[in-house]
Structure 1
Amino acid sequence: MIKNKCFFYVTILSLGVALLSGCYGNNESQTTILSKDVLSESGKLNDPIYVTFKEVLDLEPEIDFTDILGVSSKRLLYRKNSQLFQLDLNSQISKNLLAFNPLAISKDLSKALFVDENNLYVYEVQKEASVLIHEDIIDFFDNQIAFIDTMGHYVSYFDNNSLTLKIIDSSNGEIQLIDLEGILNHGSYARPKAHIDGESLYIAMDSQSKLAVYQVNEDGSLIEKLLFPHKEDTILDFQVINGGKQLIFNGVYNKLSGVFLYDLTDASLTRLVSGGKTSEGEWIPSYTISPDESRIAFSLEIEEQGNHETNYYLAGISDARLINTVRIIENENLPAVIAMMAHWAPDSNNLFIKKTAQSGQSRIVEEILIYK
């Protein structure tokens, strides 16, 4: 149990070394290089080194960890009774912002999405004003609507009926239609994931025929950027970073699980963080990238004598490798993966992690851990 408001936390991180040759993507034989800084699936990273400064913010309102939607140094946005509230972190005073259930919050905390009478709106937090961006939304609670850029300029919506992905400009409601019926071929499929890197739109498609990441042209046609050719391959989440030069994703590639960095220029694939196996099966690391794309937070699973714990780490990303890796949480039993438990400050200076009471036995957030 953390008792002090702030303290120094000292840890040592041992990094594994791995090298692998294999084939993938674009119908060419390639060499897959695993970074010298790749973290192995261990739970053996227990040798104490790096120092990180941690602050603890006690949270007075009782909020479920899934209802905290975003955090900055001054405020916290959360859902309560299917409405949007803002908590001033200095005064601990809450303010009701929106009398509708927020579907999503942009990473810079400037916008929220909500539906009223099957119409989709963007709520601008600073202006306290709402803008209609799409009419006749269907099945909107089925994880189909999301902001796909940091500042909430664009919203993705997948229409199950027409098998069409709609990219909506949140400022004016203009829509780019991407007809996926031919790719999906009415077979089994997972809903496409979309991301905008500032200039280009990318989608990840897992259909009956193949799994791939595509770049989308203005006319809606697709350019295959990364093919997953192996039967066991999966992709959970992805993001294009470094000015459209690199694609980061977590999943399984050629029977290896982990967090991977794919260079869109030279088609090299680097595994930054390894997954692993426990008695319950294989697990894939969860991760979250800072808004300025310079740092990554990720989690590793640990199994010792049948007990499962999780370690959280912070690292920089440079030249397709991890640098300055530090362990920030050790041997915790938190209720969800780091992608659900952590929030980056919009300026990337702080990482906020929701810590539930009783070491994961409760869903109520007791403290917000702040890492510089």
Structure 2
Amino acid sequence: MLDLDTGKLKTYDNNHGTWTYFLDNNCTHPFPNNKLYFVGDHIIYKGLEKEIDEKLARHNIGIYSLDTETMNIDEPILLFPEVIYTLNKSPNESYYISQFDFINDGKNIIFSGTYEKHRGIFIYDIDTKEIINVVFSSNISSYTLSNDKTKILYCINGNHGNKSMYLAHIDKNTLVSKKCLYNEVQLNLSSWWSPDDTFFLVNEKEYSSSPEIDGCRFDKIRKFNIAE
């Protein structure tokens, strides 16, 4: 990490295992605290004296935070059960987080991914450490939160490239007032919220099936008022 004030590089150095991680645009806690939150997999190897196909790795997947002052990684705020896989396999089929956000004034975390081999969107209660599956689907894609983090748009991928899009309101640990906006349409859907959350836009991107113009994309922007 580069300190822009001093121009010096800060590094995290720990010889106990290795890390795989990713950051996204929403990895910052809602309260100022010099913390950088990220999805990490702390990997500890065992059986290194054996043949490559027999080597094992212990995976500790969760949401960790890095103290940007001390460059220490804190105890994870969300930690999945440890799983052991051979080096040629990934734990993603059991546990995986593709996207996460803090909601309810930092009391909960909403995330999409896989938990105990079930895919969907989940809400995690930081105090009780309970994980609730609020959208169950083996074909869930990413979600988009409103700026006030009280509403959510999400898509479910169906058969033959069909997509369905839903709008829901977040009420503590549940999603309420679910509304289907698109039902199994042949469109590539993406969405954006207005700054004041009074409306959102959906890009209805359609791919031509005509051989003469194969691969061309047709964009149509549709506006939804939140009162609808």
TM-score (norm 1): 0.45
AA matched with 1:332: V
Shift of 1:207: 4.2
Shift of 1:368: 3.2
**Structure 1 position 370 matched with structure 2 position 224:** yes
Among candidates 102, 105, 118, match of residue 256 of structure 1: 118
Among candidates 71, 92, 97, match of residue 220 of structure 1: 71
Among candidates 98, 104, 109, match of residue 247 of structure 1: 109
- Is the 8 Å Cα contact of residues 316 and 324 (structure 1) preserved in structure 2? yes
AA matched with 2:149: E
SS at match of 2:71: coil
| Distance change in 2, residues 1:309/1:203 (3 Å) | same
| Distance change in 2, residues 1:367/1:319 (3 Å) | closer
- Is the 8 Å Cα contact of residues 197 and 244 (structure 1) preserved in structure 2? yes
For 1:294 and 1:176, the matched residues in 2 are separated by: 39
For 2:39 and 2:75, the matched residues in 1 are separated by: 11
Shift of 1:363: 3.3
- Is the 8 Å Cα contact of residues 333 and 359 (structure 1) preserved in structure 2? no
| Distance change in 2, residues 1:350/1:286 (3 Å) | same
Among candidates 25, 28, 50, match of residue 196 of structure 1: 28
For 1:176 and 1:324, the matched residues in 2 are separated by: 50
AA matched with 1:220: M
- Is the 8 Å Cα contact of residues 176 and 220 (structure 1) preserved in structure 2? no
Identity of aligned residues (%): 23
For 1:242 and 1:271, the matched residues in 2 are separated by: 17
Name the count of aligned residue pairs. Answer: 190
For 1:174 and 1:327, the matched residues in 2 are separated by: 51
Identify the residue that residue 302 of structure 1 maps to in structure 2: 158
| Distance change in 2, residues 1:308/1:192 (3 Å) | closer
Identify the residue that residue 140 of structure 2 maps to in structure 1: 284
AA matched with 1:294: T
- Is the 8 Å Cα contact of residues 186 and 206 (structure 2) preserved in structure 1? no
Instruction: Name the Cα RMSD after superposition.
Output: 3.0
Residue deviations 1:215-252, cap 9 Å, x none? 34453322211112244211111111222111111111
**Structure 1 position 319 matched with structure 2 position 155:** no
AA matched with 1:255: K
SS at match of 1:208: strand
AA matched with 2:107: K
Among candidates 33, 43, 49, match of residue 208 of structure 1: 43
Identify the residue that residue 51 of structure 2 maps to in structure 1: none
Identify the residue that residue 212 of structure 2 maps to in structure 1: none
1:262-273 → structure 2 map (5 Å cutoff): 262-273=124-135
- Is the 8 Å Cα contact of residues 240 and 247 (structure 1) preserved in structure 2? yes
SS at match of 2:14: helix
Shift of 1:297: 0.6
AA matched with 2:144: T
Residue deviations 1:184-203, cap 9 Å, x none? 8456x243446113314322
Structure 1 gap segments, 5+ residues each: 1-164, 277-282
- Is the 8 Å Cα contact of residues 298 and 313 (structure 1) preserved in structure 2? yes
1:1-372 → structure 2 map (5 Å cutoff): 165=1, 179-182=11-14, 185-186=17-18, 189-193=20-24, 195-199=27-31, 200=33, 201=35, 202-209=37-44, 210-217=60-67, 218-221=69-72, 222-229=74-81, 230=83, 231=91, 232-276=94-138, 283-303=139-159, 307-335=160-188, 341-358=190-207, 362-372=216-226
SS at match of 1:292: coil
| Distance change in 2, residues 1:331/1:212 (3 Å) | same
For 2:204 and 2:3, the matched residues in 1 are separated by: 35
For 2:191 and 2:136, the matched residues in 1 are separated by: 20
| Distance change in 2, residues 1:357/1:285 (3 Å) | closer
AA matched with 1:266: T
Residue deviations 1:98-126, cap 9 Å, x none? xxxxxxxxxxxxxxxxxxxxxxxxxxxxx
SS at match of 1:347: coil
TM-score (norm 2): 0.71
For 1:191 and 1:184, the matched residues in 2 are separated by: 19
